[in-house]
Structure 1
Amino acid sequence: MKAYFGKGGSQLVSQYYYDHETGVLAILLADRNLSFTHYQSLIVKDYLQERNLLDGQILIASFPENGNSAVQILKEMQDKMSKDKGKSGEIRISNFEAQASKEQNHILVVSDDETVNEFLGIYLYQKGYTVHFASNGRDGIQKYMELKPDLVISELSLPIVDGYHLIHTIKQSEHNKSSKMMVLTDKRLEDDIKRSFEMGVSDYMTKPFSPIELEARLKRLFQTN
């Protein structure tokens, strides 16, 4: 596996933790930026899937520099993943550094736009949020019921089940009171905007969007009871 990671000249730190009971493998990389770590996670995913060894999610996480040993950090990663293994091949980003200082808000992004998903995953992680993804409306509804996130960011045009059906289902659920919804879409027609707000969404943003504006809107949503 180390040789596989050596492709492209990258080096994997040989520190890892494997729990035979839960089947969770945690790997500790050298201090790198998030884009590098995300790239390495794709290599891990390809390696394990080619060998039919991946039966859950891949978690990317950063940890505060608090003097903990590598073994302690890896054990913490293992504990977190054991509680929520997720779907096979799913890549999730979590910020343990932000979590150490405050309770993180969980955001579920429902979109089949891979470019937007990649950007939101990195950007929201850097802002201290825990981010989950669903690529179609049906999976979005299922993940909402499982995760009960603080905020759902959804496209309106979705495969299998569209965004309007997703909004309606969430608004009818018993968990709705603790969650907010934001539409992020390329639909700019007044009818779409009006219909979304009438269905109970808290905000509506159109693509392309400004990261600064997105951050301001998120802060407002989380500050509003």
Structure 2
Amino acid sequence: MSQSVTLQRGQAVDFYGRLEEEVREHQSGAALLFLYCEGQPGTESCVQQFVDQLPGVETEVLRDESTGVLAVVMPGFTLDAAHYQALLLKQHLQSRLQQADPRITLAAIQEAPSMQTMKQMAETARLSISSDIHIFTEEDTGGAQSRILIVDQDKAVREFLQIRLTMQGYETLEAVDGLEALELIPKWEPDLVLTELNLYGIDGLPFIHHIQQLDMKHPPKIVVLTEKRVEQTISQCFQSGVDDYVTKPFSPVELDARIRRCLH
């Protein structure tokens, strides 16, 4: 994985992680707004200026550096009230930025939505072809996707697994080594870690132990996909709590079945 791709993914995780923390601070209910305004420098400062004058709102406008999407949490706002303010925000931007054509997605929330739901909201705003404000509902989320973190230093293997697992309906993220994976797991909270044992930095059983020691409400399942075929290694992995062990070269169909068995 290139450094630029790794950086972008790390920025995305930080963006949604910070946004989740912001939402959790307002358990009494809030509105969540995502905004995208293509090719308009100064959008963020204009949005922050607008937010600063909202009654009862003291919040920072968050920006996903990898996509340019902005997010605002509006504590105490009903959907109707937030929708009205979103219309005013749209007018505010169009009056101050030449040719501004903001795309806005809005939802009322009582508890922190999943990272996947927030990503869907952000993408709805970024990819919208309509200037109408989109009200995001439960119907938009569809079925919740399981998240799989792929950990392998071989770029070709990562790309193959990413494409195949995405086609199977999973949300995926990649890590090139154990250290990067240990940083991503608590932030991204994958349902399953699919990992090689031969990794840079930290590998093998120590890497497995570190995953299991992370302070997480729902620790991920662990499936080893490795070139190591030594019986003792396989036995030690299962004794350490690994959910499945697959050796390379592997059958993609068999791997699909084993992942489904672990997740369901």
Question: TM-score of the superposition, structure 1-length normalised?
Answer: 0.58
**In 2, are the aligned partners of 1:185 and 1:206 still within 8 Å (CA)?**
yes
Do the aligned partners of residues 109 and 24 (structure 1) sit closer, same or farther apart at CA in structure 2, a change above 3 Å counting?
A: closer
1:109 alignment partner, one of 127, 150, 153: 150
Please give the alpha-carbon distance, in whole angstroms, between the structure 1 residues aligned to 2:250 and 2:164: 13
Partner of 1:174: 215
CA deviations 1:166-219 (Å, max 9, x no partner) are: 110111223274310000001111011001111110000011111111111111
Other-structure match for 2:195: 154
* Alpha-carbon shift at residue 112 of structure 1 (Å): 0.2
How far residue 71 of structure 1 moved from its aligned partner, in angstroms, is 4.7
Residues 114-133 of structure 1: pairs in structure 2 closer than 5 A: 114-133=155-174
| Residue 203 (structure 1) aligned with residue 203 (structure 2) | no
Residues 93-128 of structure 1: CA distance to partner in whole angstroms, max 9, x if unpaired? xxxxxx842001111111101111000111111111
Deviation per residue, 1:149-180 (Å, 9 max, x gap): 10001111100111322110111223274310
Equivalents in 1 of 2:39, 2:240: separation in Å? 46
Does the CA-based 8 Å contact 2:151-2:194 persist in structure 1?
A: yes
What amino acid maps onto 1:123 in structure 2? R
1:17 alignment partner AA: E
Structure 2 stretches lacking a partner, 5+ long = 1-36, 45-62, 69-119, 121-126, 135-139
Query: 1 or 2 for the larger relative contact order (CA 8 Å, sep ≥6)?
Result: 2
Matched, 1:187 2:246: no
Q: Which moved more, 1:174-183 or 1:124-133?
A: 174-183
Q: CA RMSD in A?
A: 3.5
**Cα distance, 1:137–1:25 mapped onto 2, change above 3 Å:** closer
CA shift in 2, pair 1:18/1:206, >3 Å: farther
* In 1: Cα distance, 2:142 partner to 2:192 partner: 20
Match of 2:257 in 1: 216
Unaligned runs of 5+ in 1: 1-15, 27-60, 62-67, 76-98
In structure 2, the residue matched to 1:70 is 129
Q: Is the 8 A contact 1:140 1:166 kept in 2?
A: no
Describe the superposition over 1:36-77 as per-residue Cα deviations: whole angstroms up to 9, x where unpaired: xxxxxxxxxxxxxxxxxxxxxxxxx9xxxxxx95257xx9xx
Find the aligned partners of 1:172 and 1:132 in 2 and give their Cα distance.
21
Check the 8 A contact 2:212/2:219 in 1, yes or no.
no
Q: Is contact 1:137–1:162 with CA below 8 Å preserved after alignment?
A: yes
Which residue number in structure 2 is paired with residue 7 of structure 1?
A: none
Which amino acid in 2 is paired with 1:159? Y
What is the CA–CA distance in structure 1 between the aligned matches of 2:128 and 2:218, rounded to whole Å? 41
Alpha-carbon separation, structure 2, partners of 1:142 and 1:24? 19
> 3-state DSSP class of the match of 2:38?
strand
* Partner residue of 1:17 out of 34, 38, 51: 38
The one-letter code of the counterpart of 1:142 is E
